[in-house]
A and B are shown apart, each in its own frame.
Chain A
Amino acid sequence: MKKLRYAGVLTAVALALAGCGGEKVGAETPATTGGKECGTFNLTVSPWVGYEANAAVVAYVATKDLGCKVVKKNLKEEIAWQGFGTGEVDVNLENWGHEDLKKKYIEQEQVAVEAGSTGVKGVIGWYVPPWMAQTYPDITDWKNLNKYAALFKTSESSGKGQLLDGDPSYVTNDEALVKNLSLNYKVVQSGSETALIQAFRDAEKNKKPLLAYFYQPQWFFNEMNLVKINLPPYKAGCDAVPAKIACDYPPYDLDKIVSKKFADSGSPAYTLVKNFQWTNEDQNDVARMIAVDKLTPDQAAEKWVKDNESKVNAWLGK
């Protein structure tokens, strides 16, 4: 008896709730885009917005036009390279140099292959905030840096001018440069990109002097037009001996790396990745939408793809 009553009450409650239940799970069947031949590929996403722009657009096109399943993995570069070996990573869409890793994974272990340039040019160098370039126009020549060294003194630079270095991920020659160019500066490690950007913001806003290591393309250039210092120009081979470097950083041709397995798979996605190429401006557009306008990577990609159909068609070989 008791049990029966219990069940009765329960059913009543359930029914009452069900009345306002609304839409049922699975009522809307997800649109299944076919494209079985594309399959799944793992895309590493390195921790900077420019890369995220690349990844957003490629993933969007691969999913929408080719019906692939793209698994994005947020990884530091070094870890991503390891991933080629373990099969955890198929595609890296923006590689900055890393000759040592190329040697290891492409030549020695043969688990990865190059997949051509992204078309984006990478520039590394020393930058000052815009107000400084205006106030001290001749500061952009490295020869004048010693003249202004006192301006850049901070609590960290032990009486010399401070040259703020960046994210530990990036190779820097700055200590060698300071020494070999006889600059009265001390390299101070900011330790992260976040710290660099914050330092530039603060410097520009409060008109504080700042000299720091930075790089393009970077979404931050949408917010602030940093001015590059002209170091002695780069000539091939001038950076051969790390301790004796006295010239600017080489221009980087950012390229794509894919796993050997993926390259051999014959997937249309590989063709897309291989053909993918755009410009610094394109990347900055998408990066700005993500970083400043706060769109999701997918929304940003959709918007850009709509406006640049011809480029996308070229990648797809249409």
Chain B
Amino acid sequence: MAAITSDMEIEVRRPRRSVVVGVLLLVWVAAYFVLRGVNTLVLGGQETTGFHDWLTEHRDDVGQGNAFFDAIRIAVDHFVVLLQDVISQPSFDRPVPVIGWLGVVAVSAYLAWAFGNWKVAVLTAAGLGFVGLQGLWQESMDTLALTIAAVLLSLLVAIPLGIWAGLSDRAYKVATLVLDLMQTLPTFVYLAPLTLFFAIGPAAATIATLIYAAPPAVRLTAHAIRSVPPESVEAARSLGSTRGQTLTKVLLPMSRSTVVVGINQTIMAALSMVTVAALIDAPGLGQTVLKALQTLDVGVAFNAGLAIVVLAIVLDRVTTAAGDRPWRTASIRRKVLLGAGAVGVLVAIWFSRTYVWAAEFPSSPNVGSRIAVVTSDVTTWVQDVFGGFTYGVRDAVTNGLLNPLEALLTGSPWWLVTAVVVALAAVLGGWRGALPAAVCLLLLVATGVWHDSMITLASTVLATVVVVAVGLVLGVWAGRNHRVDTWIRPVLDAGQTMPPFVYLVPFLALFGTSRFTAIAAAVVFAVPVTTKIVADGIKAVPVATVEAANSVGSSTWQVISKVQLPVARRAITLAVNQGLIYVLSMVVVGGLVGAGALGYGVAAGFAQSELYGKGLAAGLAIVLLGVLLDRVTQAAARRTGQFKGRGEKR
């Protein structure tokens, strides 16, 4: 493969690509002024097309009353309720759960210690203690129960699929495509239909979370299996291993740490679904956030959001530590200590079942209300101080960048936009870019929400550009400086797991209801992941390469621009791709703060039954935009890359 692509690159160079792109854009702008307003396919807010109505009518055709789905629902419901009985809800005719807070803290810390190390055990105990002090023990445990259920079920599905995709090239290709779709399809689109299949309650919430959270585990498992050194596999085969033996004795054990990274990502994704799942009555912290939003109570919402962040950080650090644990088996001393610890845990559980103080988290030192008050005060202060300034920024960006871009996209005839975008894709990425672009754009026309799609596209492009720019700067900084990395990580984790709903209210106060607000929220949400990937990519550049560059007297900037960024090109392509997916996954949330267009369409489809079909079409349009941008950027990256992927040796 690598050889074939590289050969195609030795074509004769046509005029410089940037010139062609420039000319295309000029032609587009010129044509826009002539054809403005023709064939723009505008569709009003309450208007629908025949396709939308058809979708609405056929919504109920599947699901409900189907024995298969009922069986799944009952099993999942029971599983979640069982977990809740154990750690969060009064159960078995007792006024408290089976294990009280002391027992939960002890068990969690013990597991963290056994699978990770003592440091994360301390962190676990401290983290759980903190959410207890926030006055959110029961809500946190509900969230934890749901997360555990969703993650376990995700893994049950994802790991076998990941293994399959790891072993078969064809499965890998199909999986990548499907997973991209699963991750870009807005949750809101399938939230309501899911309740048709699985009724309202824990099952639907768990399965919604599963759909969103399983992809990373599939991806990383496949990736792990594929990156086991071929020599180890050959060694096993050369000794006469069967396929099964190779899988269980070589591939799986050697994939462990990467699979754990996948599990880690799945947990993070599951936690980020907590608030959204609350819309279909998922119990836990999400409810607290949504309730607080009804009265614009930023303090309470932030307090609950903070609990989610704390849970996320604890789970992240513990799984990371578990993944990093060396192969070595435990020393005798550790074994003895683990045994003693187990006894201690049993004692703690017994206490938590016997005494009220150990069963119900004490309510008296409540830091939650203080956090809420302080947050509200800070928010108000920020709004008062920066209010005028932020509106200025908003207007400048909106009028200077967003409006012209949007006007060009929405005001041009659909066929002109399609022609120009396909041409651009062809210039930048060859047929690999042009073909998907053409297909996606024509399907966008078919969804009937072309106009809204173009509005969303304008915002998405702008947001992604900002995300990539900020992510590159922060990522390079963190990748080159260990201390910066240490400090920036927790902030990034918080940015990634804090439910966006929490910072919508302050953002609304700072920027009003506008597309800019939505862009800002998307940037906050997407920058962390981009930064992390870039930083990891920069760190992975071999030390020798950087030293070589330094030894010939490169300046810092030269090292970054000529060595680190080009070598980390794969990571940066991935960062752009993930940044894009994250921005797109915020389109619906953006619709809640004034972005309108597709995001609003999806939200309205969720809320108004007669708009269901249109909402679904809008959701599909978001997916199509995602595929379009993804394919074009990937093709462009592949085309411009001077660094070929490692070619097969034989």
Contacts and interface: CB of A to CB of B under 8 A. Distances in A.
Q: Do A and B bind each other?
A: yes
B591 A189 contact: yes
A175 B45 contact: yes
A21 B351 contact: yes
Contacts of A174: 45
Given A47-B290, A195-B592, A25 B347 contact: no
Interface string A105-145: 00000000000000000000000000000000000000000
Contacts of B359: 25
A158 B353 CA distance: 64
Interface stretch (B26-34, B121-129, B152-160, B391-399): B391-399
Contacts of B399: 155
A197 B296 contact: yes
A239 to B, nearest CB: 12
Contact of A198 (B395, B509, B515, B607): B509
A307 interface: no
Interface in B579-609: 590-596, 599-600, 603-604, 606-609
A317 interface: no
Contacts of A48: 294
A191 B596 contact: yes
Contacts of A272: none
A281 interface: no
Given A168-B591, A219-B295, A75 B200 contact: yes
Contacts of B356: 22-25, 27
A81 B290 CA distance: 20
Nearest to A82: B195
A25 B354 contact: yes
B81 interface: no
The winner among A76, A101, A174 for most chain B CB atoms within 10 A is A76
Given A23-B356, A155-B516, A49 B290 contact: no
B284 to A, nearest CB: 11
A78 B192 contact: yes
A190 interface: yes
Contacts of A86: 64, 195, 199-200
Nearest to B514: A156
Contacts of B95: 25-26, 30
Contact of A171 (B46, B505, B514, B593): B46
A100 interface: yes
B593 A195 contact: yes
Nearest to B295: A291
B354 to A, nearest CB: 6
A172 B593 contact: no
B96 A25 contact: yes
B295 A25 contact: no
B196 A82 contact: yes
Contact of B593 (A22, A24, A85, A190): A190
A28 to B, nearest CB: 8
Counting contact residues on chain B (CB < 8 A from A), the size range is: 35 or more
B593 A75 contact: no
A234 B467 CA distance: 48
Nearest to B511: A155
Nearest to A109: B60
Interface stretch (A9-17, A57-65, A260-268): A9-17
A79 B599 contact: no
A195 B64 contact: no
B200 A167 contact: no
A68 B610 CA distance: 35
Given A22-B355, A78-B606, A168-B608, A49 B294 contact: yes
A292 B297 CA distance: 9
Contacts of A273: none
A197 to B, nearest CB: 6
B208 to A, nearest CB: 12
Nearest to B609: A78
A30 B96 CA distance: 12
A73 B282 CA distance: 9
B357 interface: yes
A298 interface: no
A21 B355 contact: yes
A90 B152 CA distance: 32
Given A14-B347, A79-B280, A86-B200, A167 B45 contact: no
Contact of A154 (B192, B195, B514, B591): B514
A168 B603 contact: yes
Interface string B177-194: 000000000000000100
Contacts of A187: 45
Interface in B294-353: 294-297, 343, 347, 350-351, 353
Contacts of A27: 356
B278 interface: yes
A83 interface: yes
B453 to A, nearest CB: 15
A233 B45 CA distance: 23
Contacts of B516: 155
Contacts of B574: none
The winner among B279, B350, B357, B592 for most chain A CB atoms within 10 A is B592
A242 interface: yes
B96 A175 contact: no
A194 B600 contact: no
The winner among B100, B359, B512 for most chain A CB atoms within 10 A is B512
Given A75-B200, A155-B514, A171-B46, A194 B387 contact: no
Contacts of B398: 155-156
The winner among A74, A154, A294 for most chain B CB atoms within 10 A is A74
A73 B295 contact: no
Given A74-B287, A168-B600, A199-B513, A88 B199 contact: yes
Given A100-B610, A242-B46, A194 B200 contact: no
9 contacts: A22-B356, A25-B94, A25-B354, A25-B359, A26-B95, A155-B394, A165-B45, A173-B46, A199-B513
Given A75-B200, A175-B44, A202-B509, 20 more contacts: A25-B94, A25-B355, A74-B287, A76-B607, A83-B195, A85-B64, A88-B199, A154-B512, A154-B514, A188-B596, A189-B596, A190-B593, A191-B513, A191-B590, A191-B595, A194-B293, A194-B296, A194-B504, A206-B387, A291-B294
Interface of B: 44-46, 64, 94-96, 100, 192, 195-196, 199-201, 278-281, 287, 290-291, 293-297, 343, 347, 350-351, 353-357, 359, 387, 394-395, 398-399, 403, 504-505, 508-509, 512-516, 590-596, 599-600, 603-604, 606-610
